[in-house]
Amino acid sequence: MRKKSPQQRVKSEDIPEGGMTTTKAGTREILLARVDGKIYAMDNACGHSGYPLHEGTLDGCVVTCGWHDARFDVRSGAVLSPGRDFKPIKRFRVVDAEDGTIKIGEEI
């Protein structure tokens, strides 16, 4: 049986609309973003250079990497910067726990 990795908990209320934060799920750093009232979770690494996406900008549902302006949709992880060899970002389920914190679920 596989042992579950520890996870940092973030309170849902601590992520404002249009805001981003990070958390850890095992050894993975996860970007959390709130768009239109919903929280999305994805790897916190640019699909081009691995730069931490939380150091970029969030405009609506689009997170832009601060290094090379790679753009990704936080709802789907899709690449929005055509003509480059950027990879989509892995996304994860967000589970609201009863104590008001967010738990990162399986990859989707």
CATH number of 10-107: 2.102.10.10
33: which DSSP letter? E
Chain CA centroid to CA 73, Å:
10
Residue ranges of the domains in the chain?
Answer: 10-107
For the cut 80, the answer to whether the pLDDT of residue 74 exceeds it is yes
SS3 77: coil
The band of 6, judged by pLDDT with boundaries at 50, 70 and 90, is low
Q: Residue 73 above 70 pLDDT?
A: yes
Mean pLDDT of 80-104: 87
Q: What is the spatial distance between Cα 106 and Cα 90, in angstroms, rounded to a whole number?
A: 10
pTM: predicted TM-score of the whole model, two decimal places: 0.88
